[in-house]
Structure 1
Amino acid sequence: MVETAADSLEKVAAEVMGCPLCKLARTRKNAVPGEGQLAARVMFVGEAPGRSEDEKGRPFVGAAGKILDQMLERAGIPRSQVFITNVVKCRPPNNRVPEEDEVAACRPYLERQVALIRPRIICILGRTAYSSFLGGGSITANRGKVIEKAGQKYFLTIHPAAAIYNRSMLSLLEADLKKLAREIQKGDAGSNAGADSSLEDFM
């Protein structure tokens, strides 16, 4: 997809960096627009930046990010070839759950990113993203599922931060991301019949 003059990921990022639309703008160090490929087949969406992300202005670079990186590597999904962002682009104080008005203020930015990237699958990381996109409740009861809504596919899994406090969650996250990789390959096989290509070639 070619970005139009009317909008681009860079324009969204610039607006996020200077966003004054909710109270999180008063407490953040850096807004965290997200990062990754415009042509990404998969878009990962978590809850909100944490301390490390707030300091560096990049998504998933703290402890949860290290877990995500490890699990992506095991699943054969290159982080460099996906797009990663959050429902809320600024860190809530003390890493609390984002409030409804904060999610609402950030929603247009996320919607624009989705419209620009047009991912094959949006991987929802955790309950807040599940609720924001699909109005869902328990992520643990629905993890590993693929849901289609308005022509967009969503893949549900736990947030990597859950594995920081409960190491048994690591195996669940790894299993889910390997299933996600198979979903990507299945989609590739359908649109590239007869092609002999790796997962990375399509990411």
Structure 2
Amino acid sequence: MTCQQKQQIYNLLKTAADSVLGFRVKSFDTTPVFYDDPLPAPQNLQEQTDLHEPSLAAPAASSDHSSLDFSTVHSSLEDSICNLKNQISACSRCALAKTRNNTVPGTGSLKPVVLVVGEGPGFEEDRQGLPFVGPAGQLLDKMLAAISLSRSSNTYIANIVKCRPPQNRDPYPEEAEACSSFLQAQIALLKPKAILCVGSVAAKNLLKTEAGVSRLRGSFYQYHNIPVAVTYHPSALLRSQDLKRPAWEDLKQFRLKLLELCPDYESSCQSYVSH
């Protein structure tokens, strides 16, 4: 394959990534250098190194990486998340953009063990621009803390839709679809070890199923090779005390999976108190 042919494939991948993820992938900003191309190595090895978003660019011939500043990797991730939040803030893909006060992109650790996915913002979330900050959010924080998870240290929290549906109704399918690339981008960037869906809306949209929580809970599913568990939404637990025991069983099972995937994850937990 010639250099020109490889360049064409590279350009196609760049266009596809931008379209699917809904944001510009910084890995594609640099000109690729292929192993078998008779081109000089890049002057700055660091410019060709991105641990978060793999590219087709080849490393320089030297194997000495002592001069690399790997702190730039985290900065790049922060920039990508910030760029994504800006795109969400400017989004007008569906009718929810006309009734929102604030978009609610998500919050939490940028190196999460777990991504929690809910359905959509409520009144307080729409007012503050943060997910799960009302009574259900306070309960969610307690649920997470019970299995050594916290949005301040090892968990990221996001929703299927980033704008509040009027009267807290379930998002319509077209609204969820319009927002889907934002959640896909968050998962691609954050690379969580596991995903916890809280509520039927989250589970149905992420897993592309018609089954509800009662049928889905108790098992693990896969989203692009990431284990996914399903449990009741904290709002449901506030309405029905009978659901708290099965929800606790779900969390204990989820904790065992996390210990299998990341045995030392509990050491990274720092408590978080909702206000």
Q: TM-score, with normalisation over the residues of structure 1?
A: 0.89
Runs of 4+ in 1 over 6 A off after TM superposition: none
Q: CA RMSD in A?
A: 2.0
The C-alpha deviation readout for 1:117-157, integer Å capped at 9, x for no partner, is 11111111111111111122111122132112432211111
Q: Which runs of 5+ in 1 are unaligned?
A: 190-196
The yes-or-no answer on 1:201 pairing with 2:268 is yes
Q: Contact (CA 8 Å) 1:148, 1:154: kept in 2 or not? A: yes
What's the counterpart of residue 111 of structure 2?
39
2:186 to 88, 113, 117: 113
The yes-or-no answer on 1:84 pairing with 2:189 is no
State the structure with more CA Rg.
Answer: 2
SS of the aligned residue for 1:148 comes to strand
Residue type of the partner of 1:65?
G
Identity %: 35
Residue 73 of structure 1 and its aligned partner are, at CA, apart by 1.6
Residue type of the partner of 1:119?
P
SS of the aligned residue for 1:140 comes to helix
Q: Which protein, 1 or 2, shows the higher relative CO under an 8 Å CA cutoff with sep ≥ 6?
A: 1
Q: How far apart in 2 are the matches of 1:59 and 1:152?
A: 22
Q: How far apart in 1 are the matches of 2:89 and 2:129?
A: 9
Q: How many residues align?
A: 196
Residue 95 of structure 1 and its aligned partner are, at CA, apart by 0.5
Residue type of the partner of 1:159?
H
Summarize the alignment of residues 95-134 of structure 1 with structure 2, pairs less than 5 Å apart: 95-134=168-207
Q: 1:90 to 1:198 in 2, by over 3 A?
A: closer
1:17 to 67, 71, 89: 89
Q: How far apart in 2 are the matches of 1:149 and 1:45?
A: 12
What's the counterpart of residue 55 of structure 2?
none
What's the counterpart of residue 30 of structure 1?
102
The C-alpha deviation readout for 1:22-66, integer Å capped at 9, x for no partner, is 100110111100011121011000000001100110000011111
Residue type of the partner of 2:124?
S
